[in-house]
Structures are given as C-alpha cells and as structure tokens.
C-alpha cells in the first residue's frame, strides 16, 4: 500500500540491509536512491566466480541460512530463489567420516567410533563427543523457553546471559574445561565462543539453526542481492561513495564521491546501511549523539580470512572422509566448496581454510597472497595428507583489509547487547540505521534484512 506522503530517501550501501530497506520503501511508493561505493551489490554476500576452473564458485562471505530466517525467507519466496539443504542425506556431502585436527592430532570420526578426544573430558562428555556436548550444554537451553526467532525479540532469559561468553554459559551449565575447549575448537563458533556475548551467539548462531537443516542458495549466495538489485535497477548508483552525512531542520544531505566528482544528494530521510567499522571514518554533521558515537567507534568486528585452494580431484571422497574438518590450527576450519554438491561440475572442488579471530591476527594475515596460499597448503596437509598433489592454485579474501567492510561481522562483547545494541539501531533525526550490526540476529543475512525492513518501517511511520 502506498504511503500517504511520498518521501525522498537516500540509502547508503547496497548490502542486503540497504537493498531490503530500499525495496520495502519502493513498495510503499517512496522515491529511493541507493548509493553504493563498489560496482556490485551484496557487500559481504560475495560469491567468487572468477579465477577458478569453469563451474567452480566459492562463497567469500555469507553461505548458510535456515528456513527459520523469517525476513530472509520472505524475500527468497518473493523472488523465487532456489535453495537446497546442504547436509541432506541424499547429497554425497553427508557421506564420509568427520575429520578433526585437534591438539596436534588428526582424528577420523564415524558415528559409532570410540574416539580418544585430546581433552580432559568427563566419561559422559567423552561419550557425547563434540556434537553431543553442544546439544547438552548449549542447545538444550532452548527447551521450553521463549524463542527469539519465533518472536523476533530477545527474550529476558537470553538477555540475562549477556554478561558472559558462550563458554562461560556452557561452564555454568556444567561443561568441564575440556568440554569448553571442545566447543571452542570442535565446532563452527570458534573465536566467537570466548569473546562474544552468550546472548548474541545463542540468538544469532544457535536459535535459527536448531532443529533445522542448513540451506544454501543454488547458484551462489549472491543470487539474492542480485535479484533485489535487478529490481531496484537505476535507483542504485554504483561507484558512489558517501563521504559526509549532514542533516538539519529542512533535509538530509549526503556528499558523494563518484567518478572523480563530488556531488550532494538531498533527501528527506537517510538509511545508513554501512558497517560501523566504515561509518566511523565518515564525517557526520552535526555530530551523532555521544551515546551513538561511542557505539559507532567502539563496536568490534570479528576478523575472517578465507583461503580457497582449487583441487583437481575430490580425493577425500575416495578415502571415505568429508572435505570439511574442524581444527585448532591457525588456518581454522576446513570447508569444501561449492556447498551444494550438485553444483560442482566434474571432479574438481575447492578446499577452503576459514580462519576467524578477535584481537591478535594469526601469521597468515600478514602474508602476501602467494606465501599465504603456500602456508595454508602446508597446514592443510596435516588434515588431508597429500593434498599438495591435487592442488592447482587459489586465492584468498581478508575481510578486515576490505575497505568497504573493515571486518567480517559485528562482535558484541558481554554486556554490549544490553547496553549497545539498542543504541546501534536508534534513529538520529533523519538518519535511520540498518545493517547486521543493528539487529539481534547480528552477524547473519537475516540480521541485515530484518534491520532493513525495520528502518523502512521507521521511515514509513515518521
Ligand atoms: C566470512 C563471512 C561469513 C559469513 N557467513 C554467513 C553465513 O553463513 N550466514 C549468514 O547468514 N551470514 C553470514 N555472514 C554475515 C552476512 O554476510 C552479513 O551479516 C550481511 O551480508 C551484512 O549485510 P549488511 O547489508 O549489513 O552489510 P554489507 O553487506 O557490508 O553492506 C554494506 C554495503 O555498504 C557499502 N559501503 C561501505 N561504505 C560505503 C560508503 N562510504 N558509501 C557507499 N557505500 C558504502 C559496501 O560496499 C557494502 O556493499 C558472513 C559474513 C562474512 C564476512
């Protein structure tokens, strides 16, 4: 339904948050201009298609979602975007033994194998293994409790755990120090588990994924931002960097650098959908409130560097193991791409090393591309012995050195979900804030879309 007063809105950033906000506003009849610094839409949804053999693609940013991502699914259904379950039993990815490399040892694990986990676990924890430990100490916490995904709000029981990290939460629920190590290194949550607020990780990482299979987009994650961008078409200005945001009683004005020129775009309202890690380097006049400024300047981002090694053969399938592996090596988690097995043409695939950290960077971060790939390959040999024989070449992506992201995704430390998140999303005059970092589902595509929808609603109601 068209709004009674048509507003002119400028959206900063054509990531999922900006695109979702723009799309909603256009549906409501507003005049929308999107300014995007890069020459493509999608931001941290980035499917790499160049530099690999024909048919191979790799996700450098977002990969998984679930059908519990309500706002995302609404768009997926509207644009009829095909997706598949990644670990469905019918797909070969579900076959093969699980691999771990922990405490200097390679562990090959079948569902019923008796594994000598290299941690000081209780007899029960030893029996449970990494998946059972996550179920017992983390997922079971949701039983009978209000679900943030269903309600779209952070329930009090989760907010109470904003004062601790996920590992501290697990310890409170009885996890031994060894089991905490297992959660830290034997699962996907890695560096977030001992740095981020438990309220944040439980809401954004665990709640949407429990009781449901992870999904991936057929054709690559960027199909969704591309579908939105295609519809917004000429409303998006690419290569248009916002360098200053101004507002007064009359209007908002954005100073834009584009093609060597500097222009001014005037609007009634602004949706600022760029990460705070980038916004803190942009002038805002008059200055944002001190409370907002504290969050814009102080919010941390997790660091992620992903190295993609092209393999001539999926040799691990012949060995009966998964390409994927959980490791405590500096190269991080090993993942096989493309995620959807049916999309891999021929025998080739990519083995990816997914390093995540907060604070001190691992050695690979300081390396030049070629040296980094060589190092990753050497370390990968500990997980997949003989991998070098199948290696054809590769590329890597460091999100913290990407000037339009300056980090992978927001990292709310203990206490900051209560104190900072409400401030992050609060409107300041004509400026409305969107982006994964402003949502309870921060660090996800759902958070980005949800925040865009919320910012559009704020404008509709203003
Ligand atoms: C390595 C990695 C793995 C991830 N895995 C998953 C996953 O499996 N599942 C999941 O749901 N989520 C995942 N995410 C998170 C998800 O990608 C993000 O939450 C989401 O894409 C963020 O969208 P956004 O619109 O908030 O920000 P962005 O995508 O960063 O969009 C911001 C846009 O603003 C633009 N911009 C920046 N500065 C300016 C400026 N000055 N002027 C104009 N434009 C500007 C940028 O170019 C960018 O396009 C992952 C992210 C990363 C990095």
How many other C-beta atoms can be found within 10 angstroms of the C-beta atom of residue 111? Answer: 8
Who wins on pLDDT, 1 or 177? 177
On whether the CB atoms of residues 266 and 8 are closer than 8 A, the answer is yes
* Contact present, 271 and 10 (Cβ < 8 Å): yes
Do residues 271 and 14 make contact, with C-beta atoms less than 8 angstroms apart? no
Note the pLDDT of residue 87.
Answer: 65
Collect all residues with Cβ–Cβ distance below 8 Å to 287 and sequence separation of at least 6.
Answer: 293
Judge contact between 102 and 384, C-beta under 8 A. Answer: no
Q: Which one of 10, 13, 200 would you pick to mutate in the ligand 1 pocket, going by the greatest count of ligand atoms within 8 A of its CB?
A: 13
Q: Which segment of 80-94, 123-137, 174-188, 356-370 scores lowest on mean pLDDT?
A: 80-94
Phi, psi dihedrals of residue 59, rounded to the nearest 5°: -85, 120
Cβ atoms 39, 240 nearer than 8 A: no
Mutate to test the pocket of ligand 1, among 44, 214, 229, 306 (most ligand atoms within 8 A of CB): 44
Q: Is 404 helix (H, G, I), strand (E, B) or coil?
A: coil
% pLDDT > 90, the chain: 81
Do 429 and 447 belong to one domain? yes
How crowded is the C-beta side of 379, counted as CA atoms within 13 Å?
Answer: 27
Q: Tens digit of pLDDT for each residue in 39-77?
A: 999 999 999 999 999 989 999 999 999 999 999 999 999
Look at residue 95 in the predicted model and tell me its pLDDT.
59
Whether residue 149 has pLDDT greater than 60: yes
Query: Ligand 1 atom closest to Cα of 435?
Result: 26
CA dist., res. 352 & res. 375, Å (int): 13
Q: How far is the CA of 332 from the centre of ligand 1 (A)?
A: 21
For ligand 1, what atom is nearest to the CA of residue 17? 25
What CA–CA distance (Å, rounded) separates 460 from 455?
A: 9
**CA of 109 relative to ligand 1 center, distance in Å:** 35
Read off the pLDDT band of 208 (50, 70, 90).
Answer: confident
Tell which residue, 119, 199, 117, has the closest CA to residue 155.
199
Domain of residue 195, residue span: 119-206
Residue 330: strand, helix, or coil:
coil
* Same domain, residue pair 291 and 421: yes
Is residue 72 in some structural domain? no
- 309 touches ligand 1 (CB under 6 Å): no
Final residue before a domain boundary, out of 206, 231, 263: 206
- pLDDT of 338 > 50? The answer is yes
Q: Does residue 150 sit in helix, strand or coil?
A: helix
Average pLDDT along the chain: 93
Instruction: Give the pLDDT band (50/70/90) at residue 343.
Output: low
Residue 192 placed within a domain: yes
What is the β-pairing status of strands 8-12 and 333-337? unpaired
Residue 111 lies in a domain: no
**Is 169 a member of any domain?**
yes
| CB of residue 448 inside a 6 A radius of ligand 1 | yes
313 and 396 in a common domain: yes
The Cα angle at residue 444 between residues 438 and 445, in degrees rounded to 5: 95
Q: For the domain that residue 241 is a member of, what is the CATH number?
A: 3.50.50.60
Is 50 exceeded by the pLDDT of residue 145?
Answer: yes
Same domain for 54 and 196? no
Tally of domains in the chain: 3
Answer whether residue 92 shows pLDDT above 60.
Answer: no
In this structure, is residue 18 part of a structural domain? yes
Q: Please name the residues in contact with 148: beta carbons below 8 A apart, sequence gap of 6 or more.
A: 154, 155, 158, 203, 207, 440
- Indicate if the alpha-carbon torsion angle 109, 110, 116, 118 is positive or negative: positive
**Do residues 242 and 316 share a domain?**
no
pLDDT value, residue 364: 95
**pLDDT per position as a tens digit, 236-292:** 999 999 999 999 999 999 999 999 999 999 999 999 999 999 999 999 999 999 999
Ligand 1 contacts CB of residue 380 (under 6 A): no
Atom of ligand 1 nearest to the CA of 16: 25
Please report the pLDDT score of residue 264 as a whole number. Answer: 97
Note whether residue 95 is domain-resident. no
Count how many Cα atoms sit within 13 Å of the Cα of residue 166 in the half-sphere of its side chain. 30
Q: Is residue 325 part of a domain?
A: yes
Instruction: For strands 333-337 and 349-357, give the pairing.
Output: antiparallel
In terms of domains, do 428 and 290 share one?
yes
- Give the pLDDT band (50/70/90) at residue 341: low
Mean predicted confidence (pLDDT) in 26-45:
98
Question: Is residue 21 lining ligand 1, measured as CB closer than 6 Å?
Answer: no
Beta-carbon contacts of 136 under 8 Å, excluding residues fewer than 6 positions away, are 128, 173, 175
Summarize pLDDT for 383-423 with one digit per residue, the tens. 999 999 999 999 999 999 999 999 999 999 999 999 999 99
CB of 196 within 6 A of ligand 1: the answer is no
What is the per-residue pLDDT for 386? 97
CA distances from 101 to 108, 284, 324, 391 (A): 9, 47, 11, 20
pLDDT for residue 327: 94
- Picking from 206, 239, 264, the residue at the C-terminal end of a domain is 206
Domain boundary among 401, 425, 444: 401
Q: What is the DSSP string of 160-192?
A: GGGGSBHHHHHHHTT--HHHHHHHHHHSS-GGG
Domain assignment present for residue 81? The answer is no
* CATH number of the structural domain spanning residue 356: 3.90.660.10
What interface predicted TM-score (ipTM) does this complex get? 1.00
Q: Does 127 lie in the same domain as 38? A: no
Do 417 and 295 belong together in one domain? yes
Give pLDDT, residue 4. 62
Kindly compute the dihedral angle of the four CA atoms of residues 384, 195, 71, 5, in this order, to the nearest 10 degrees.
-140
Predicted local confidence at residue 90, as pLDDT = 39
Q: Please check whether residues 313 and 358 belong to one and the same domain.
A: yes
Average pLDDT for 125-139: 91
Total Cβ atoms within 10 A of residue 389: 11
Same domain, 307 and 246: no
Same domain, 289 and 423: yes
329 & 295 share domain: no
């Amino acid at each position: 339904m068209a709004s009674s007063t048509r507003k002119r809105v400028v959206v900063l950033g054509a990531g999922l948050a900006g695109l979702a906000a723009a799309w909603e506003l256009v549906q409501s009849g507003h005049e929308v201009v999107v300014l995007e610094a890069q020459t493509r839409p999608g931001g941290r949804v980035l499917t790499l298609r160049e530099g690999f053999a024909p048919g191979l693609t790799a996700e450098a940013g977002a990969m998984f979602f679930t059908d519990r991502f309500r706002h995302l699914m609404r768009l997926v259904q509207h644009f009829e975007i095909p997706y598949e379950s990644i670990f469905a039993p019918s797909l070969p990815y579900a076959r093969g033994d699980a691999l771990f490399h922990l405490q200097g040892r390679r562990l090959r694990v079948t569902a019923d194998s008796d594994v000598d986990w290299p941690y000081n676990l209780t007899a029960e924890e030893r029996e449970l293994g990494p998946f059972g430990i996550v179920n017992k100490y983390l997922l079971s916490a949701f039983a009978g409790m209000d679900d943030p995904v269903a309600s779209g709000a952070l329930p009090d029981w989760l907010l109470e755990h904003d004062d601790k990290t996920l590992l501290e939460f697990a310890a409170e629920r009885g996890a031994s120090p060894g089991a905490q190590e297992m959660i830290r290194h034997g699962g996907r949550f890695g560096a977030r588990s001992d740095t981020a607020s438990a309220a944040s990780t439980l809401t954004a990482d665990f709640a949407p994924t429990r009781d449901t299979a992870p999904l991936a987009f057929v054709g690559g994650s960027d199909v969704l931002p591309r579908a939105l961008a295609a519809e917004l078409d000429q409303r998006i200005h690419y290569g248009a960097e916002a360098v200053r945001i101004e507002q007064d009683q009359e209007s908002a004005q954005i100073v834009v650098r584009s093609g060597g020129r500097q222009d001014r775009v005037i609007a009634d309202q602004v949706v600022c959908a760029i990460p705070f890690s980038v916004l803190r380097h942009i002038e805002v006049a008059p200055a944002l409130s001190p409370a907002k400024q504290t969050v814009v300047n102080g919010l941390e981002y997790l660091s992620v560097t992903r190295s993609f090694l092209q393999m001539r053969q999926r040799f691990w399938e012949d060995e009966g193991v998964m390409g994927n592996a959980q490791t405590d090596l500096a190269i991080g988690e090993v993942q096989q791409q493309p995620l959807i097995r049916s999309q891999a043409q021929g025998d080739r695939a990519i083995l990816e090393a997914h390093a995540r950290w907060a604070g001190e960077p691992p050695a690979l971060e300081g390396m030049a591309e070629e040296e980094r790939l060589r190092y990753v390959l050497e370390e990968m040999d500990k997980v997949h012995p003989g991998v070098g024989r199948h290696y054809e070449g590769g590329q890597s992506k460091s999100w913290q050195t990407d000037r339009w992201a300056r980090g992978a995704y927001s990292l709310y430390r203990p206490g900051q979900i209560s104190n900072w998140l409400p401030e992050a999303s609060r409107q300041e005059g004509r400026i409305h804030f969107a982006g994964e970092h402003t949502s309870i589902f921060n660090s996800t595509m759902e958070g980005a879309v949800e925040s865009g929808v919320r910012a559009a609603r704020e404008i509709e109601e203003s």
